[in-house]
A and B are shown apart, each in its own frame.
Chain A
Amino acid sequence: MMSMILRRLAISLVILLVVSMLVFVATLLLPGDPAQAILGQQATPERLAALREQMDLNDPVWQRYLTWLGGLFVGDFGVSAASGGSVGELLGERIAASLVLMGAAALISVPAGVVVGTYSAIRRGKAGDHAATGISLVLAALPEFVIGIALVTVFSTTVFSILPSVTMAPPGENVWDYPAQLILPVLTLVLVVMPYIIRMMRATMIEVLDSGHVEMARLKGVPERQVILRHALPHAVAPVAQVVAIQLAWLAGGIVVVEFLFRYPGVGQALVDAVTNRDVQVVQALSMLIAVLYIVVNLLADVVGILTNPKLRTEGAR
């Protein structure tokens, strides 16, 4: 089993390396010269040449790739073409802000999804189940910005105006000092992520509740509450953990739209700005950052899957 996990880890590293090449090659396709982009049209040829030398643009491609990749490891993400400042400085605080948003969304949606899914499975075919299934089917279809706008319309503008619809923290202060501003972005993410967890939880629980060992527990007189908590729930953990991980990984990309919608000063907002300005260095750094997060979470999901699946424990590596 250990070797399977190690194998999976190695695959992840290789994938990450290939992704980094892909991301790097993307910049080479860009028409124009990064030095020109930073200095503008009026730059003198001498200054251009100096900056090109400074940015190592004269080196061969593979050497630039290695320099860039090495820079990623020591936190040197290059220079932003739009602002001229260091990319790393630009991102530092934003990463923390985005992690707060994602963390809060995960902390709410996972337990809530598990509870609603279990409830739905227990009351299968009843009104509560129909409501939960129907609502999650609808929510699963909606793009995140539609959910976000609907929430803004209802809670902060037209119907009730009780919650702020944009995030505005004074410079130097942290976004999480203003919890009211976090409610709508977090709620949007929760509503996007939860339906998948509910559906998977419900499907798995129904399967488990129909299985022999649960029936056995019921027949020997175990109280229903204990049947569900002790006999049924543990068996649903593995498949649901997979879905939870996929959803958490999805959050890495999903925050882009939500942060843009609520003007939340996080990584996603920075990414949209950078794409709008065609600020390649920043887009590269952020893409790599999100890819790392995505791959790590997926890796964790697989590890949980391997650890909790008794079949995989003995089958050995495929």
Chain B
Amino acid sequence: MSIIESQPTTPEESPGTVAREVETPPGLFRRMLRQKQAKIGIAMTGAVVLVAVIGPLLLPWATGYTSTEFSGRPFQPDGVFGTDNLGRDILSRFLDGGLRLLIYAALATGLGMILGSAAGMLAAYQGGTLDSIIMRGNDVLLALPQLVFALLAITVLGPQGWVLVTVIGITHAPRIARVTRSAASAVITEDFVRAAEMYAVPRWKILAKDVLPNITGPLMVELGLRMTYSIAAIASLSFLGLGLQPPTAGWGLMINENRIALTVQPWGVILPVLAIAVLTVGSNLITDSLARASATVEESK
């Protein structure tokens, strides 16, 4: 956090510019939080994350059922929201199904951010052949739609958790690399990078200590965007029956299982759909206000 907070205070500030330092705009996050839509976004995302995290713990107390236990009474109005296609308690499955989605999405996003920002910074810093190899590799990965790429991998490797995380992470990477490269190429011409080079600081250290802290703005925006897309991608694949596999409880899978009975027992579809909708809209609101905050920071530089 401290890295990000200090982002707008650019290193070019010398002791002589105290007057300007007073006017230094607040950090990226505080700028973001000033916007109403960021607060709404955080509230929405927070609510769903809370349900997803606390949900599994509440199971015995709230419903008395586990998420995979079934009574063989499909589509009955038992319990608060009734039972699903195999007679399992809908509320139980709903409470149990969110955390897995969030963890997978976070892992996929994390993987994509690491691969993408490393490749992007390296391409920007190194230039030349390595740059063109990385960027051409990106072009190839970008030539297949993300979902099709994921489906190809699932065909070959089967619908397993690590396959989902890896393939979504990898398909995020080129998109993140492009943003990182363009942001980093503005930074690497700065004098402090030259200075570090003169002291023979190792390349990875320059990238991690000098370049990375100065491109956190665009990277945070990218992080939010990719998180939204990861959630959508994993939920979509589960919805297609190719992500999380039964009997695991998952929001995407629940929608797939229960949509045939939308008229009889709508809660099995409506609860997970609402949760995914609130989650993605919330994270998109946060991302949007992050982008605005980042843009105003850029302007004030």
Contacts and interface: CB of A to CB of B under 8 A. Distances in A.
A275 B242 contact: yes
A307 interface: no
A280 B158 CA distance: 12
A291 B146 contact: no
Contact of B155 (A15, A16, A274): A274
Interface string B146-178: 111001111111000000000000000000000
Contacts of B266: 153, 157-158
Contact of A253 (B147, B255, B288): B147
A12 to B, nearest CB: 8
B242 A158 contact: no
Given A137-B288, A144-B236, A275-B151, A291 B143 contact: yes
Q: What is the interface of chain A mostly: helix, strand, loop, or mixed?
A: helix
A62 B182 CA distance: 38
A287 B151 CA distance: 9
Contacts of B285: 137, 141
Which of B140, B153, B233, B269 has the most chain A CB atoms closer than 10 A to its own CB?
A: B140
A27 B239 CA distance: 25
A35 B146 CA distance: 30
Interface in A112-165: 137-138, 140-146, 149-150, 152-153, 157-158, 165
B113 interface: no
A295 B270 CA distance: 37
Interface stretch (A17-25, A49-57, A103-111, A231-239): A17-25
B148 A141 contact: no
A16 to B, nearest CB: 7
Given A275-B155, A283-B155, A143 B143 contact: no
Contact of B255 (A145, A157, A165, A252): A145
Contacts of B259: 149, 152, 261
B240 A158 contact: no
Contact of A16 (B143, B154, B283): B143
A145 B277 CA distance: 10
A260 B262 contact: no
A290 B146 CA distance: 11
Contact of A260 (B140, B153, B240, B280): B240
A140 B284 contact: yes
Nearest to A156: B262
Nearest to B37: A137
B162 to A, nearest CB: 15
B152 A287 contact: yes
Contact of B240 (A18, A26, A257, A290): A257
Interface string A231-271: 00000000000000000011011101100110000000001
Interface string A281-306: 00100110011001100100000000
A143 B273 CA distance: 10
B87 interface: no
Nearest to A260: B240
Contact of B270 (A153, A278, A286): A153
B281 interface: yes
Contacts of B233: 143
Contact of B239 (A158, A257, A279): A257
Given A149-B255, A260-B240, A141 B283 contact: yes
A142 to B, nearest CB: 6
B239 A271 contact: no
A141 B143 contact: no
B235 interface: yes
Nearest to A271: B151
A143 B148 contact: no
Nearest to A11: B139
A318 to B, nearest CB: 12
A42 interface: no
A138 B278 CA distance: 9
Interface in A43-84: none
Contacts of B288: 137
Contacts of B241: 272, 276
Contacts of B157: 29
B109 interface: no
B15 interface: no
Contacts of B270: 153
Given A149-B255, A260-B240, A280-B155, A294 B143 contact: yes
A195 B252 CA distance: 23
A249 B145 CA distance: 8
Given A141-B281, A250-B145, A283-B155, A15 B139 contact: yes
28 contacts: A18-B140, A19-B140, A22-B144, A26-B152, A27-B156, A29-B156, A30-B155, A138-B281, A141-B228, A141-B283, A142-B281, A143-B235, A144-B236, A145-B235, A145-B252, A146-B280, A157-B266, A165-B262, A252-B145, A260-B239, A271-B151, A272-B242, A275-B155, A275-B240, A276-B241, A286-B148, A290-B145, A294-B144
The 3 A-B residue pairs with the shortest CB-CB distance, nearest first, are A253-B145, A141-B284, A143-B232
Given A150-B277, A294-B143, 19 more contacts: A19-B144, A26-B155, A137-B284, A141-B228, A143-B232, A143-B276, A145-B236, A149-B255, A149-B269, A158-B262, A158-B263, A158-B266, A271-B148, A272-B242, A275-B242, A283-B151, A283-B155, A287-B148, A290-B148
